[in-house]
Amino acid sequence: MTIDRPGVGRGASEDRPFIAEDFVFDPGAFTATRDLAVVHEEVFLEETPLAVLRQIHLEHRARPHTAVTLRCALCWNGFRDALTLLERFPRSFQRAIPPNAVVNTAERYGIGDAGVAWAWSGTGEPDVLAFVRNNVYASFTGHDAAEIVRLAARELDEAVTRLRTSGPYADAPTGALDEVRRRVPEVARVASGGRLDLGAVPTDPNTRVFFLSTGGSVNRSPERAEQWYYRAGATKGRHEIVALRVGRGILPVRERLVVEVE
């Protein structure tokens, strides 16, 4: 089953604000999930659209067969990119979605600016629900957890709605690339195929740093795990290195370093 622009209601083509403070999911903070425990958690970087995505697997403390997977993402470039993730969501399942089972969460439940939900049986409380609020995308997929999914989604939506908002994000002037900034001028110069040492990237157990680059690649040093370097490619000209640092939530700090490959 293909769903085009799922759950997109009136006003979904309009701009929405950006969340200006981080969101950290705590199952104990929500009534619907307080009996669930986190059993596994990962954070990823989506490149297209640019988004930090946190995937959290939860199980019921008393009923291990009751489980929920939450995927929560912040889209760096805004609401329309969050809609792109929402549009992809129904196509991520290998099983067929029951015909006429999909509902618009904004209209049916008042959840999100746009969203979709359905029950695998075709009727009743949803087993699956995904929505967008501002530039945040979230999805819940439950196993024997239909009584949890909708209520958890509503509470998460309310929590995101309470966050401070702002306009588009700006790059941070300092952070993970501070060491290389102290050594090079405003534009770093490196020969084609050459190496630019980025130095040690400060981290802690609750922080992840992701790198993106054009005209080359960013790699971890084989000699020292905390050291990173940029290997320039064959394409000469102006390129950039982007570092995104994220803590326990989904709002990253982004930095950029301009590189001239000669």
How far apart are alpha carbons 23 and 40 in whole angstroms?
A: 18
Q: How many CB atoms lie within 10 A of CB 172?
A: 16
> Does the pLDDT at position 184 exceed 60?
yes
Give the per-residue pLDDT at 12.
55
Q: Which of left, alpha, beta for 128 (phi over 0: left; psi -120 to 50: alpha)?
A: beta
Q: Which amino acid is residue 208, in one-letter code? A: R
The label of the residue with tokens 């619907």 reads 32
> Does the pLDDT at position 1 exceed 50?
no
pLDDT (average), residues 151-168 = 98
Enter the CATH code of domain 18-166. Answer: 3.40.1000
> Does the pLDDT at position 32 exceed 80?
yes
Q: What is the pLDDT of residues 62-121, one digit of tens each?
A: 998 999 999 999 999 999 999 999 999 999 998 899 888 999 999 999 999 999 999 999
Q: Which amino acid is residue 135, in one-letter code? A: N
Helix (H), strand (E) at residue 106: helix 105-108
Distances in Å between the alpha carbon of 17 and those of 91, 111, 163? 27, 17, 11
The residue with greater pLDDT, 11 or 185, is 185
pLDDT (average), residues 159-175 = 95
Q: Is it true that 18-166 and 178-261 share their CATH fold? A: no
Question: What are the domain boundaries of the chain?
Answer: 18-166, 178-261
Give the per-residue pLDDT at 13.
60
If we measure between CA atoms, which residue out of 32, 77, 75, 72 comes closest to residue 54? 72
- Beta-bridged to residue 131, according to DSSP, are 115, 138
The tokens for 101 are 């089972």
> Does the pLDDT at position 8 exceed 70?
no
> Does the pLDDT at position 6 exceed 60?
no
> Does the pLDDT at position 234 exceed 80?
yes
Beta-carbon contacts of 168 under 8 Å, excluding residues fewer than 6 positions away, are: 18, 77, 78
pLDDT (average), residues 13-21 = 89
Q: What is the SS3 assignment for 169-186?
A: CCCCCCCCCHHHHHHCCC
Query: pTM (2 decimals)?
Result: 0.92
Enter the CATH code of domain 178-261. Answer: 2.60.40.10
Q: Which three-class secondary structure state does DSSP give residue 127?
A: coil
pLDDT (average), residues 119-137 = 95
